[in-house]
Chain A
Amino acid sequence: MGLEEKLPSGFLLSTVEQAAGWVRKSSVFPATFGLACCAIEMMTTGAGRYDLARFGMEVFRGSPRQADLMIVAGRVSQKMAPVLRQVYDQMPNPKWVISMGVCASSGGMFNNYAVVQGVDHVVPVDIYLPGCPPRPEMLMDAILKLHHKIQTSKLGVDAREAAREAEEAALKALPTIEMKGLLR
């Protein structure tokens, strides 16, 4: 985005990465992107008992321009998909996506004409969260995992290197369809 992307690899960059990661993970602003059942659990997570305020995330931003995390909470219909993409595009970088619930992650039980079979057809997803709907504890677990991901994310040359390594690893990995054995 800015100057930090141009730093040379080494001690300086890794220090900046740590600082930036800490700052970013400590003030994640989720966009209100409630779609279906999961949205109710998302609201519950923000409310009293589960209290997302403990992680500095209780303020759900109404405007995507003020948000950096989109929690896609619920089934995404074919009619909603373009809207979803537009909301995602309106969010400023850096931004993250949690695909909350099995419908958003893979279409789930709604394997039919109306539902997009996984929101990753539309936007890149950082965390897939199973469950129908996931409990608030599961959402918090996903958020903490995302925090860890944000904390350890790379910048500049390191980011490019990390992306290249991830791609190589993905190319080498055995496709799911060729895997054998127990379903786990």
Chain B
Amino acid sequence: MSTSQAHATASARETTEGTVYTVTGGDWDEVVESAARADDERIVVNMGPQHPSTHGVLRLILEIDGETVTEARCGIGYLHTGIEKNLEYRTWTQGTTFVTRMDYLTSFFNETAYCLGVEKLLGITDDIPERATVMRVLLMELNRLSSHLVALATGGMELGATTIMIYGFRDRELILDAYELITGLRMNHAFIRPGGLAQDLPPGAVDHLRELVGKLRKNLPEYDKLATGNPIFKARMRDVGYLDLTGCMALGATGPILRSTGLPHDLRKSDPYCGYETYDFTVPTTESCDAYGRFLIRLEEMRQSLGIVEQCLDRLAPGPVMVADKKIAWPAQLALGPDGLGNSLDHIKKIMGTSMEALIHHFKLVTEGFRVPPGQAYAAVESPKGELGAHVVSDGGTRPFRVHFRDPSFTNLQAMAAMCEGGQVADVIVAVASIDPVMGGVDR
């Protein structure tokens, strides 16, 4: 039935299970046409890359038989940005500016993973000031909250529940206000730098954060009330996107997907970094292996994160936020100017007027950067989506030789086929939303 229209891009061959089409690029219309000519009920549906329910520019290729999905495949790469290559042409410090834009919902995690990797290469892991580490944890946990809020919001919106989307973005705005106070930016901060942080907390930030924690403590139960017991929500999510422990391990799925199978694997506990072993929190799990379980885990993780944020606020002791080594510490003794931008006028006066050496040092550090001894390092953090690893290679130069990010969204998205095949078309949306892939992280 389909031997005659074999062409360069989509070839077909007969197997015992029917006609198998091999799609290797080319014209989608021709592929669909040749599939349509086969006189069975199966339809190949191309969903995306521009589709309101695909979580960004994700392309889903579904073979459906009536309402049942018989095969599901992902097409990715529509947001490939070449960040890893671009990093190789910038200094180590400038690298944070790029990595923060990978998974744009978890900026602080990207920055921390990268910086931990660079610090490991530099051998200064133990020299990072306590205050910088606590602030990193603080920012990461706030980031976990905002990322999970977006996961709930967009996940709800894809189910058709606009209310939860409005609520999620409402609370995310509160967190973004805190980011803005601390880093000056709402997204893409580049605030965590190799060696520490770009600057200290501004005055009033601790009070603001305490107030924020109070507000969120009040708001988080609303998601419970809105969704957890909601019969429609449960009917859509329960037993959908099922992936058990074996599947998770085989497919490398981490994060809420893995924890929804009952395995409490969390790098914050199993391979602690940034002093997480000293914080008091639990790793929530469910046994349900489905989208609903992942939703519950995200809710509980947000509560735990709030607890960690409070512990961080209690621990914040005055001190430096950058390593003492002036050959690494960026920006070289700069303070923020009165306009919120640029350099402190006092410092400029000093380096321009009185200290030639300081000026040279500043110039060298900013234009050349620091050298990192050759070698490679792998640093992993538990991002809201799973294990986020940074493989950082140096050749002894002032620029990275190679930086590779093992992004959890990328790996977890592979599980889409296992979760969706055999289910209904509408459940594909739920399953993908429960993976919570962010295409910026998938494609980088």
Contacts and interface: CB of A to CB of B under 8 A. Distances in A.
A143 interface: no
Interface in B76-95: 77-83, 85-86
Given A80-B49, A109-B98, A133-B188, A44 B173 contact: yes
A17 interface: no
B79 A74 contact: yes
Query: Which of A47, A77, A132 has most chain B Cβ within 10 Å?
Result: A47
Given A109-B97, A133-B187, A47 B52 contact: no
B170 interface: yes
B169 A43 contact: yes
A79 B80 contact: yes
B81 A77 contact: yes
Contacts of A80: 49, 57, 78-79
Contacts of A39: 56
Interface in A73-131: 74-75, 77, 79-80, 83-84, 87, 109-115
Contacts, number: 99
Interface stretch (A27-35, A155-163, A174-182): A27-35
A156 B193 CA distance: 57
Nearest to A115: B81
A132 B188 contact: yes
Interface residues of B, number: 36
Given A49-B173, A112-B82, A135-B186, A37 B101 contact: yes
Interface residues of A, number: 35
B440 A37 contact: yes
A48 interface: yes
B276 interface: no
Nearest to B186: A135
Contact of B187 (A40, A60, A77): A40
Contacts of B56: 34-36, 39
Contacts of B186: 41, 133, 135
Interface string B329-341: 0000000000000
B392 to A, nearest CB: 19
3 pairs of A and B residues whose beta carbons are closest in the complex = A47-B169, A114-B82, A62-B52
